[in-house]
Amino acid sequence: MTTRDVPAQIGDLPPIGRPANSAFLAAGITTLAQVARHSRRDLLAMHGVGPKAIRILAEALSERGLSFTE
């Protein structure tokens, strides 16, 4: 699967880019609640997930009263 085949946005995740979405889909992560079960370090270790995606996710998590696992 190429990133062109990956939707621009999945579940309730904010737009974080197709490479990050591809990594999340491969890991079965489709919601912010699932993102909150992971640490920043674990997510950054996924191919396609970078600091910008983590920053966008952190803001979205905070808006919903959630945070990354540490």
Q: Regarding predicted confidence, which is higher, 6 or 55?
A: 55
Residue 56: CATH number of its domain: 1.10.150
Report, as an integer, the average pLDDT of 32-38. Answer: 98
Q: Which helix (H) or strand (E) holds 54?
A: helix 51-63
> pLDDT by residue (tens digit) across 6-32?
666 788 999 999 999 999 999 999 999
Whether 35 maps to a domain, the answer reads yes
- Which residue do the tokens 């920043």 mark? 40
Find the largest Cα–Cα distance for the chain: 34
Which of 4-8, 15-19, 36-40, 56-60 shows the lowest per-residue confidence on average (mean pLDDT)?
A: 4-8
DSSP tag of 4: G
Whether 23 maps to a domain, the answer reads yes
Number of domains in the chain: 1
Domain that holds residue 53: 12-63
- For residue 56, the one-letter residue type is I
Whether 50 maps to a domain, the answer reads yes
